[in-house]
Amino acid sequence: MKQTEFLIESEATDSAITALKYEDGQLREVEDRVAEEVPVAMIYNGISHAVMLATPDDLADFALGFSLCEGILSSARDLYDMEIVHRVNGIELQMEIASENFLHLKERRRSMAGRTGCGLCGSESLDQAIRIPNRIQAHDIHFDAEAIYLAQRNMQTLQALQGRTGATHACAWVNPEGEVLMVREDVGRHNALDKLIGARARQQQQTAGFVLTSSRASYEMVQKAASADIPMLVAISAPTGLAIRMAQGCGVTLVGFARKQQHVVYSCPERLLHKELA
């Protein structure tokens, strides 16, 4: 048996473990549920391109969303087939893509043994490190700030894996009325957004709306939102400076610290409407 094989808990999203909990001056044995993360390899036309650590569910969404956000595919139509193959040391997402997309991928492909949340691993030069998407096309849509707070309350009840483990992020697609239409979860915030974008593309969902994320807003979160023409990204935590500048340049409304009837707007504030209190 390889050393890594014992680390993989099959294809479960979470598992039960026995642990010791110290509370109120006492130590006792408890059963806890923990989120699982598994190496997931993105394979295009037989060539491995990247390996991500991810929660092993909604993998078809993950494959498509990652491919779209990375610019490997231009649309869902470029993905001809996808097979999920479980190995003893991880999962392979074996994709068959259009020849034109594969040729383009081979031209820009770099040696990437793995990826992390930074989004820059595997780049060979500074010019390759930050990919700037085109400016989004959703110019005329507006949202009421109350939709953010309504969506926050609703999203928490839809985070099943987070409720069991307390260890995952979620990204939700929210309509202008604040209704949560779709949620995807993962141990990685970027993976959760990839899954959400992939799910919308697979279902050909055209509903207007914005993304609410349970995480901070990094550069890569904004880059993914802009690449999917998402007009507004709302995070419950802080954005980075690079994320703000990218949002400004791409025309994405970036909102941070959204919690308990308050938020901060960092870019394109005209898209978010606020009721003035008397």
pLDDT tens profile 41-71:
999 999 999 999 999 999 999 999 999 999 9
**Range of lowest pLDDT (100-109, 148-157, 249-258):** 100-109
Whether 117 and 160 map to the same domain: the answer is no
> What pLDDT was estimated at residue 91?
95
Whether 65 and 118 map to the same domain: the answer is yes
Domain-located, residue 227:
yes
Whether 103 and 165 map to the same domain: the answer is no
Give dist(CA 261, CA 150) in Å, integer: 10
Share of the chain above pLDDT 70, in %: 88
CATH assignment of the domain containing 68: 3.10.20.10
CATH assignment of the domain containing 242: 3.40.140.10
40 falls in which pLDDT band (50, 70, 90)?
A: very high
Which position among 118, 121, 171, 250 bears the catalytic label? 118
Pick from 78, 106, 129: which residue ends a domain?
A: 129
Domain-located, residue 104:
yes
117 falls in which pLDDT band (50, 70, 90)?
A: very low
Domain-located, residue 28:
no
Angle between helix 189-202 and helix 219-227 axes, rounded to 10 deg: 10
Whether 105 and 150 map to the same domain: the answer is no
Q: The whole model's pTM is what? A: 0.90
137 falls in which pLDDT band (50, 70, 90)?
A: confident
Active site residue 121: no
Domain-located, residue 134:
no
Q: Which domain, by its residues, includes 187?
A: 143-273
Q: How many domains does the chain have?
A: 2
126 pLDDT above the threshold of 70: no
